[in-house]
Amino acid sequence: MGQINKHYFVNVSYDGTNFHGWAKQLNLRTVQQEIENVLTKICDEKISIFCAGRTDTYVHALGQCFDFKTKKDWKPKNLQLALNALLPNDIHINRVKCVDNKFHSRFNAVSKTYLYVINKHFDIFKQNYELFYNKEISLKKIKPAINLLVGKHNFLSFSRAENNDTVRTINFIKIKKTNSYTRLYINGNGFLRNMVRMIVGNLLAINENRKSLDDIKKLLDDPKKGTSVDKVKGCGLYLYKVFYG
């Protein structure tokens, strides 16, 4: 009888400042590679992990999720402790649990929420974690644009994606303003490469009167790769939470 693999689901946070994104790249430091290196060491076999959604260079995560299979039988808490003992200090394992063999972190995800953090006041110690934007953000100006973006659309104009299927559904875009901060929470059933950063960039362009609602409507109605142009930095972006059914 063959060895039965154990299947683990992991929730992880990371500081993206010194990473070239999530996905493995030759001769570049990535989150996936760091985690796989440690798992391969402690499980005594080659381990591949599958995430809920890739993040780009400099992008952070509060609640990224991944899963993997191994022949080694770990108690979830012990696996969490072992990983945190060996991973670099810009990656932290929040939770580990056993899951069904059919589970997949990406394909079983119902939706994801991304957070984008904007600060009106520059702070040298936070420049890798938020966007400095020294203009007042008018909710009255950007809310009509948000209403256009929410729903099911072809978001090819808001992406550098090579995907054949570029239709996604944005469930909500919520804004919270406190003191000098503006935080945008964007939830959808999936996201294309650079999509969140381009959405935020276009909302700020609306705020500055550089774009109109008609411009946003045209980008949605006549989708062409990357034509939205406006894109904010990756430093203020966080994969906030992944939701499963």
- Quick one: which H or E segment has residue 187? strand 181-188
- Whether residue 21 contacts residue 54, with contact meaning beta carbons closer than 8 Å, is answered with yes
214 in active site: no
Q: How many other C-beta atoms are found inside a 10 Å radius of the C-beta of residue 15? A: 17
What is d(CA 154, CA 79) in angstroms, rounded to the nearest whole number? 41
Which one is catalytic: 15, 44, 56, 230? 56
Alpha carbon of 129 to those of 59, 114, 116, 234: distances in Å?
9, 14, 10, 9
Closest CA to 211 of 201, 221, 220: 201
* Active-site annotation, residues: 56
